Amino acid sequence: MAGLVRTVREGSLGWVIFDHEERRNAINAAMWEAIPEAMAEMVEDPEVRVVLLRGAGEVAFVSGADISEFGKLRTGAAASSYDANNGKAFAAIAECPKPVIAMIHGFCVGGGAALSLKADLRYAADDGVFAIPAARLGLGYSASLQESLVATVGLPAAKEIFFTARRFSAPDALRLGLVNEVLPKAELESYVRKVAEGIARNAPLTLRSGKLIQNQLAGAETARDRQAWSESTDACYHSEDYQEGIRAFLEKRPPVFRGK
């Protein structure tokens, strides 16, 4: 098996599954190239309200990039092309306008940790193992990935994770801010589904606006597009969903949002 990125739709939830079990879901070049297409499917499907990332099987979320390819594909002049494809994969997750949740079990190392950091929320099983071992491999680690790490855990914790290059347990990851919550492995999927389904019942335009604004607030001030912020909040106020939200509140019933 060469490894693949699969998509599964379950009502309002869309799953992107990293499937390379014989290598602990290590991401090879073909899989890096497939991630933007998989994310595009989720974005373009109007029925999908929340995107979830997970690894196939029971051993790993993603154990990293497939190092067996590095000697050929991530050396010399070829390295820039390889890294460019990685960058497109990370951007496809980070720029998804819908909420993205990483459901993490087992190994979440290197490229796997980087993929999870591009999600909006991260929930981990108690068997989670986290690391960014770039310093032990001599890899250059892009500014975009380091920005995600610093934005998620803060500068002191980011330096601890990056400088030591060591493995952290799920409780350590929670302490450092790498994950939102740690659950017993047997309870992880049901918990994440419950969270995702709750998010999916909320107003899509409000979620989209909030994600846009919060992501830009967490980044460089020069990249902030206040016009886009204003347009996104105005779209909420002019939407059918806003009227539905008011009616539902007054009628004491759950709202039914359509994203319009």
* Structure confidence at residue 1 as a pLDDT band (50, 70, 90): low
CA distances from 151 to 186, 200, 214 (A): 30, 25, 11
pLDDT in tens, 6-39: 999 999 999 999 999 999 999 998 999 999 999 9
Q: What is the pLDDT of residue 9?
A: 97
Residue 209 neighbours by CB under 8 Å, 6+ apart: 229, 232, 233, 235, 236
pLDDT in tens, 168-189: 999 999 999 999 999 999 999 9
Question: What letter would DSSP give residue 118?
Answer: T
Q: What is the pLDDT of residue 74?
A: 59
83 in Cβ contact with 27 (< 8 Å): no
Residue 148 has pLDDT above 60, yes or no: yes
Distance between CA atoms of residues 219 and 122, nearest Å: 19
Distance between CA atoms of residues 177 and 166, nearest Å: 16
99 in Cβ contact with 118 (< 8 Å): no
Q: What is the pLDDT of residue 171?
A: 97
Distance between CA atoms of residues 83 and 207, nearest Å: 31
pLDDT in tens, 106-143: 999 999 999 999 999 999 999 999 999 999 988 778 88
Residue 52 has pLDDT above 80, yes or no: yes
* Structure confidence at residue 72 as a pLDDT band (50, 70, 90): low
Distance between CA atoms of residues 254 and 234, nearest Å: 23
Helix axes 204-218, 226-237, angle to 10 degrees: 160
* Structure confidence at residue 73 as a pLDDT band (50, 70, 90): low
Residue 62 has pLDDT above 80, yes or no: yes
